[in-house]
Structures are given as C-alpha cells and as structure tokens.
Amino acid sequence: MPLYLAPTVSILHRLTAFMAIAMILCLPLASAQARTLETAFGEVTLNGEARRVVTLYEGALDTALAAGVTPVGAVTTRGGDGVARYLDDYLDDIAIVGVVREINIEAVLMQRPDLILATPLISSEQYALLSRIAPTVVPATDGFSPDAWKDEARLFAQALDREEEVEAAIADVEARAAELASALAEHEVDNDVVLVRWMPQGPMVMSTQIFASGLLDAAGLEVNDSGLVREGAGHSDPLSLENLSQVDRDWLFLATLNEEGREALDAARRSPAFDRLNVVQNERVIPVDGQLWSSASGPLAAQAILDQLEAALLP
C-alpha cells in the first residue's frame, strides 16, 4: 500500500507547495490590481489607482492631501464657504460638492469621480446613490474616539493605494506629539486644559473624545470636560453663565468658526461672567480656529494643531 501511494502523495504535496508559492508570489501583484476594503457598508473591491477622487469628509480630504493625492472635489468645512483654511497651502482650487450634512449628488456626478471617500455619518440612502457613481469608501467609525482618525486614515490610504505615505504621516504625528509632551513637561507647563466654543448665551464644552482633545492628550495635557458632555456627543449644551467656573482651568482653548479668533475672544470678554475667570485674568485663553480644532481631522490637521499648541504653550 505505501509503495503505491507514496508517489501520489509526493506529487500532491509538490503540487500544493508549488501552488502556495505561486500564490504568495502573486499576492502583491494581485493587491495592486484589486484590493478589498472593509468599509461600513461591507467589502468594497478597488482596482488600480484612482485618478479622480472626491472627498465628502474633512478627514478624507486631509488624508488624501497628506498622501500626495489632490482630490478633484470636496465638501466645505462646517460653517465655512470653502475647505478649511489650514489646507490653503496644500491646494489651489477644488470643486465644492456640498456641505458635510448635505451633499450635492449632481455636483459629485459632474466631477466624474472614480473614487469617493465619505464621512462615517453618511446615510445608507446617500451611500446607495453615491456607490452608483463610483466606488464609495466609508470608514466604520462608531461614535467619537480620539484615535478614530488613524483608522480612518489607514482605510482611506488603502483606497488610495498610498499606505506607506499615510503610515509615515501618522508616525510623524505620534513622534511630534511625544516630543511636544516631553518639551512641555521639561518646562513644567501647567497641564489642566479645557476646549470650548463660545456662544453668546454661554460656552459649549467640547468632548474629551474629539480629534483635537486626543492630540492635546497625546501632548501630555489633561483635557477636562467636567463631565458635562454626554456620551456620544461632540460637545455639551451651552453652559449657563452661572457655571463658568467649570471652565476655569490652567488653559482655555477658545474655538470659534469666525475668521478672527481674537474677535471671538473680545466678544466673550464683553460678558462679565467670562471676564472675571482666573484663566481670563491670567491671559491664558488661547483663541483657536474652530475649522481646524472642532471640525477637522487627519494627519495635516494634527500637525497644524500641534504647531499652534507649541506656539501657544511653550515659553
């Protein structure tokens, strides 16, 4: 029996081994040709490199630019007329195809995209429409998490076939944040901070789970929302002026959608309840661009936030 079988087994064995080797050799080739992505709406298979990318999400635009891909169309930043100002250096002109919450499908169609990168908040109806125009990649992000941007960036990188570039950009951000953390610790900078948006009836405290808070945390600062932000929400309701002491910490980052952060600070200081806070009296209120700090995400936004953080806090 063994005499008969031995050659057969041997042939089978060799055949399998050969096939396995062939498959291993073919894999990189196959992935460049067709790659399968795990998205919020199931698997999406992409072929080749996308030439006309439309981004329907601030984080997708940021990641694409960081990866060296210039999209042909994008949505406006929240509360703005165009894309966020911090991206001005990376991009000359881009077609606007709507706002994050209201995408103009016809404008998307006009760009004749071959790849669409969308927001995790997109509805399934919109996804159904968009995926008929071009393969649509939606990150499966559940609620707010300070590090969600990394997973999103990696997925967009896969879609753009620029994984190495994006991985390097993420590593740069992590290294930069760690560097800043040790520099701040060295200078013994006070680290109790709060991030708010000023409204005329009171401040909205931003969640510790949003992108900017995650970076502040990575830079060694204690972001505090005083337990005011409900789980799953990006910010609290406007706080009563009687409760402003809750935002009286070592540093107060005042995000505003207005062009001039200084104007927002002036407007806030017109309120006596704000003006009497210790953090205001000590001039430790840092007006920051809300387009960057409360709406953006991605490697470029992270670098821009860390730049501002360094300029504001390091003596």
Contacting residues toward other proteins, per CB under 8 A: 79-81, 198-202, 228, 236-243, 245-246, 256-259, 267, 271-273, 276
How far apart, in whole angstroms, are the C-alpha atoms of residue 265 and residue 294?
16
To other proteins, the closest distance from the beta carbon of 181 in angstroms equals: 31
To other proteins, the closest distance from the beta carbon of 25 in angstroms equals: 55
Judging by DSSP bridges, how do beta strands 95-99 and 73-76 pair with one another?
Answer: parallel
To other proteins, the closest distance from the beta carbon of 80 in angstroms equals: 6
Q: Which is nearer to other proteins, 193 or 239 (CB)?
A: 239
Q: Which is nearer to other proteins, 190 or 237 (CB)?
A: 237
Closest CA to 60 of 16, 104, 97, 14: 97
Judging by DSSP bridges, how do beta strands 73-76 and 53-56 pair with one another?
Answer: parallel
Q: Which is nearer to other proteins, 278 or 282 (CB)?
A: 278
Q: Which is nearer to other proteins, 172 or 237 (CB)?
A: 237
How far apart, in whole angstroms, are the C-alpha atoms of residue 120 and residue 118?
7
Q: Which is nearer to other proteins, 68 or 227 (CB)?
A: 227
To other proteins, the closest distance from the beta carbon of 243 in angstroms equals: 4
Closest CA to 176 of 215, 145, 223, 147: 215
Residue with tokens 């006596």: 272
In contact, 246 and 205? CB cutoff 8 Å: yes
To other proteins, the closest distance from the beta carbon of 309 in angstroms equals: 24
